[in-house]
Every structure is written in structure tokens, then in C-alpha cells.
Structure 1
Amino acid sequence: MEALVIGASRGIGLAFIRQYLGMIHCQRVYGTYRHLSAELKLLQTQYPERLVLLPVDVTKEDQIIQAIATLKGQAQRLDEVIYCVGLLHQQTLQPEKSLRHIHPENLLTYFQINAIGAVLWAKHLAPLLRHGDRAVFAAISAKVGSIEDNRLGGWYGYRASKAALNMFLKNIAIEWKRTMSQAIVVALHPGTTDTELSQPFQKNVPPEKLFTPERTANQLRLVLDRLTDQDSGQFLSWDGTPLPW
């Protein structure tokens, strides 16, 4: 197996990197980063032959193209791709509680990172997944991106960008079913995971429902391992149950 983790520096992406490195049948894992974390750098020194790191800003298509060109120089194929890049807040951006908090530039940032980056990777990765064997393209989505399940409102940009991600993935699944029927495309809800993304919003989360990144990666691994081509185009929770769109 050869795998690619997009957004590997921290959180769920870093946990997936560790997971793949612990799998005997995973010959090589590729990881992308915008800012190289100390943890990811250490793993590269520990696994210099099995871990290949690529600097990429997912909002820049030219950087995605360049990274895939480098990847193609080392890999004949990919068996699993996990898009783990996500944005909920940063210094100048907080999830909106009301319409009055909406700023167009913030909405564009949410969509570029949470949705558009994933579909650009799919656009350029298709040749590496078109090899006749089972291939998985999964993206970390969020239950709050479900339109049907939205009962609280708020978080306009984050919710809408995750809903857009889900639609992109559904479209990709339909197109690839015609051209590469062995490919499986899914959106995954990881549950509330103890990462920088969720930390400001953990106060009301029961301890048993706050997962470590390692637990999240392990739970999602069970979901990924059970996938068949009949699951392509699905939106699945961390325990494998389907979620409403």
C-alpha cells in the first residue's frame, strides 16, 4: 500500500501518518504540510525511507500540481488518500454566530481551505488512483456540514464550506464511477477530536465524546477498511453509520 495524507502536520492528519507508518503492508506514506511541525519532522528522521514530506498550500493549485509531479516521480500509484486539511478559526477569523458577523473574505477563506482544496487534489490525483485495484479518496468533513441535521444555525462559513465539500465528494464519486469504478470516495465525520481546531469549543463536550487524534484515526481506520465500491459517495460518521446530507 502507498498512501497520501494531505494536511499531515498535526491533529488527525499526524495521527494518520503514525497509523500508516505502523502498518507493515504500507510501503510508503506521503504527507503534505503548510507549516512543518516538530512532530512530523521527527517522524521523517525516524522513517527516512518510508515517509516523504511535501510542502503545499492547498489554496494554491500550482503548488498542488508541483507536489503531485514530485510524487509521481516516486510513486506508480496511490491506494489511499486522506484530506485532513480544515479551518474553523484563526487569529483573524472566528465562526459566525449571526448574519451580522459575516465577512465575504472570511467565507472565501473557509471555502478555499475546507472545500476547494480537496476537489483540486482530486482533479490532479486521478491518474495515480486509476490502477484497477481498490483505491480510496476520503476527506475529513463534519456533521455540522449536514443541511438536514442543522438545528442550531450559526457557524455560517464553516457549515457551508463543509456542505460544499460533501457536494464536491458526491460529484467526484459519480464521475469516477464512470471512469474508474474501483475508486471509493467518501466524506468522513471524525467526531469531536481534541485538536487545535476544536479546543475553543470543547467546554460542553462530555469527556467520553472527546476523542484523541489517535483514537479518531483508529476509528476511521475501521471505517475505511470496511469500505466497498458500493459505499462510494457516502457521508459516514466515525462509527460507520451514514449521515444525512
Structure 2
Amino acid sequence: MKKNILIVGASGSIGHEFTKHYDLERNVEKIFALSRRNKDFDSKKIHPVIFDYNKDETFEDLIDALNNQPINTIIIATGLLHNKDVSPEKSVNNISVLGLNQLFHVNVFGPMLLIKKLLPLIKQSTLVKIIFLTARVGSITDNKLGGWYSYRSSKAALNMMIRTLSIELQRIKKENIVIGMHPGTVDSNLSKPFLKNVNHQILSPKESVAHMVKVIHRIKPEDSGNCFDIKGNVIDP
């Protein structure tokens, strides 16, 4: 049976690679590619949809834009670590309301409000896989370096949302799956300013997506609620 895929952040480095990957899969009928900017894709299978966490009207128009069709796989590939106004904090002295608000809005509030809006379509589907891109630094037990207060905290909050959503959706259908995926350290706009300090493997977006797709394909309902790395290992909470 052919499936419909929804990718949020399709204009970003990783989201774009997810979109290209699923375009080549024969059992995919439609790909709804959500992004803040209109991006042209040379494929009849891909349907671009303008969507922005900061604009309420894009939430309201979303179901119509998706033609009320059931969705089988949702990949939320959005995330914020820094921009012109905020940077990862080295000390508690660097924490600001602006930084906390922006990172929690993009990394937690926006994705969860999106799932709330998509709930009618999720309930229509035979089963659903929902994949949130998270980060290993959201693990409380793995935090050995400190710093990056807003980003770490927003990803930890997202991981709790993932676990809680997984419980609710399996009450609707026990086959539903909700997981977090750590994409590894990827050469992308999000991580580029910090790559010079990295002493482990840096992946291209294409390499990262290839690893993640393998994990996504083999996860089972009993895996729901967990966060995984690109090797398929569960990341400690």
C-alpha cells in the first residue's frame, strides 16, 4: 500500500534530503513538503506547502492544504540552535528570556501545536510513524559538559513531549509509533559555526538521512517513545 509522507522543514539541509530520499521510494504516493519559503521540487510526487510556526494562519490553512488526506509518516526536521539574536550560552549569566522563548518556540511549542492540528489526519490513518529530530544534548544523564542551557533544555522538553505523545497515540492505535532521532553531527546551517571544535565524525545531510531512514524503517511499536541515534541505539533520557 502506498503511503503519504509529511516533512516539516523541507527547505532545510536535513529536511530537503529527507524529501529527496522519499521521492525515490516507490511505495510513497505523496510528499507534503512544509517550509517557510516556497521551494520548487522537480517531482509531481512532492507538494510544497508554506508553513511557519510563527504565523497562525499557516496552522489554520494546513488541513485544507493537505486535502484532508491521511498521513502515514510525519518527519519534523525543524530546529533552532542560534540566529542573529541568540547563541548557545556558555554560562548561566548568558541566559535570556529572548533566547529561551525562541528556542522553546521552534524546538518544542511549534512542533507540538502542529501535531495537535494534524490529529484528525493522524486518526484517519491506518498507522502513523512520527519522527522528531532531537539531539543527544537533550539527554540529562549524558550531560557532562554543561552550557547550551536553552538548547539542551528545549530538547529535553521535546523528548518528554515525544514520550507523552507516544502513550496517547498508542491508546488510539497500538501500532502508532512516535520517536526522536538524533541525526548525528551534520554539516548544516545549524551546526556549521561549531564544527571546528568537533573531534568526531561530521556527516553530510545525505549521509545522516541515509542512516536515519534505516532506523525509521525498522522501528516497531514497542520502540515508541524512545529517542535513537543514527545507529539505532536508544539514547538515555
Q: What is the TM-score with the length of structure 2 in the denominator?
A: 0.95
Shift of 1:147: 0.7
Q: Which residue of 2 aligns with 1:217?
A: 209
Structure 2 regions of 5+ residues with no counterpart? Answer: none
1:137 aligns with 2:139: no
Report SS of the residue matched to 2:129.
strand
| Residue among 232, 238, 241 paired with 2:224 | 232
Corresponding residue of 2:160: 167
1:157 maps to a residue whose letter is S
Kindly indicate whether residue 2 of structure 2 is the aligned counterpart of residue 7 of structure 1: no
Distance across 2 between alignment mates of 1:69 and 1:146: 37
Question: Structure 2 matches for 1:139-154, cutoff 5 A?
Answer: 139-154=132-147
Q: Tell me how large the CA RMSD over aligned residues is.
A: 1.4
Secondary structure at the counterpart of residue 227 of structure 2: strand
1:133 to partner: Cα distance: 2.8
Instruction: Give, in whole Å, the separation in 2 of the partners of 1:62 and 1:90.
Output: 24
Superposed displacement of residue 114, structure 1:
0.5
Stretches of structure 1 that go unaligned for 5 or more consecutive residues are none
Q: In the alignment, what sits opposite 1:22?
A: 24
In structure 2, what is the Cα distance between the partners aligned to 1:171 and 1:60?
26
Whether the 8 Å contact between 2:86 and 2:98 is mirrored in structure 1 is no
Cα deviation code 1:26-45 (max 9, x no counterpart): 11100111134xxx42x2xx
- SS of 2:214 mapped into structure 1: helix
- Output the amino acid matched with 1:237: D
Partner in structure 2 of residue 56 of structure 1: 51
Give CA-to-partner distance per residue, 1:44-94, whole Å, 9 cap, x none: xx11x21111111113444223122321x2x52111000011001111111
User: Amino acid of the residue matched to residue 100 of structure 2?
Assistant: L
- Structure 1 CA distance, aligned partners of 2:85 and 2:58? 24
Aligned partners of 2:93, 2:191: CA distance in 1, in Å?
Answer: 23
Q: Counterpart in 1 of 2:94?
A: 101
Shift of 1:182: 2.0
Matched, 1:115 2:116: no
Range 156-165 or range 122-131, more displaced: 122-131
SS at the partner of 1:216? helix
Could you state the TM-score of these two structures normalised by the residue count of structure 1? 0.92
Query: Secondary structure of the residue that 2:140 maps to in structure 1?
Result: coil
**Partner in structure 1 of residue 181 of structure 2:** 188
- Structure 1 distance, partners of 2:190, 2:31, is 24
**1:196-238 CA distance string (max 9 Å, x none):** 00001101324x6101101111100000000111111011111
What SS does structure 1 have at the residue aligned with 2:47?
A: strand
Structure 1 letter corresponding to 2:186: T
1:65-80 to 2 correspondences below 5 Å: 65-71=60-66, 73=67, 75-80=68-73
Q: Distance in 2 between matches of 1:76 and 1:104?
A: 39
Which of 21-30 and 173-182 deviates more? 173-182
Amino acid at match of 1:244: D
